[in-house]
């Protein structure tokens, strides 16, 4: 028969063994926190970058004074916003042929509601008195993703596109814009 001292020693060994098993079990769970992981353990991107390109041919002797468009967002895709609801600086920036040649963009965001998608109204105006003389890529937009959504070019809508002529301050016929790429 075991003495009280031996029983105490056995309890301590059993307790240490049990605690070791608990620690190994917890370590096997991964501790990933679940943020950004789907049911298959796949990490989903937290953001995506859209590139907006002008389409059409800029007529000879014409330059661009600005462009505006409305971007319709798919479900679970939003811009980063400030506490007052305004779009955070850096979400929309001029890029490509517009890089460094425009005033900071004006961006108005309308959040999605039941059955109505979110929208961003974006306006760029040229800093150059002579305007911008070519199309191509004009904007880069960084958006937040949630619920494992991975959007494609076709997930976004672009409407109310106007490309303005610097001399007549009116729309340039035959010019438009598209969502050219989405990178997550």
Burial category of 16 from C-beta neighbours within 10 Å (exposed 0-12, middle 13-18, buried 19 and up):
exposed
149 in Cβ contact with 77 (< 8 Å): yes
Burial of 55 (0-12, 13-18, 19+ CB in 10 A): middle
Domains of the chain: 47-183 (2.60.40.680)
> Whole-model pTM?
0.76
pLDDT score, position 168: 86
Torsion sign across C-alpha atoms 70, 75, 81, 86: positive
The pLDDT tens digits of the residues spanning 127-157 come to 999 999 999 999 999 999 999 999 999 999 9
Q: In residues, how long is the chain?
A: 184
Give me the residues paired with residue 139 across strands: 52, 94
11-61 pLDDT tens trace: 554 444 444 443 344 344 444 444 444 444 567 789 999 999 999 999 999
């Amino acid at each position: 028969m075991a003495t009280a001292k031996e029983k105490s020693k056995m309890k301590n060994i059993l307790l240490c063994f049990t605690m070791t098993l608990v620690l190994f079990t917890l370590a096997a769970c991964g501790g990933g926190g679940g943020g950004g992981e789907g049911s298959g353990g796949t990490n989903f991107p937290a953001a995506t970058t859209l590139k907006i390109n002008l389409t059409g041919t800029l007529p000879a002797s014409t330059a661009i004074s600005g462009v505006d468009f409305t971007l319709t967002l798919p479900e679970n895709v939003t811009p980063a916003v400030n506490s007052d609801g305004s779009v955070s600086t850096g979400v929309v920036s001029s890029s490509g042929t517009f890089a460094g040649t425009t005033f900071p963009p004006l961006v108005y965001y309308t959040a999605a509601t039941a059955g109505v998608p979110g929208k961003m109204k974006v306006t760029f105006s040229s800093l150059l008195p002579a305007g911008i003389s070519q199309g191509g890529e004009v904007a880069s937009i960084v958006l937040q993703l949630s619920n494992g959504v991975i959007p494609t070019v076709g997930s976004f809508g672009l409407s109310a596109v106007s490309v303005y002529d610097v001399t007549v301050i009116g729309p340039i016929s035959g010019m438009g814009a598209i969502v050219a790429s989405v990178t997550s």
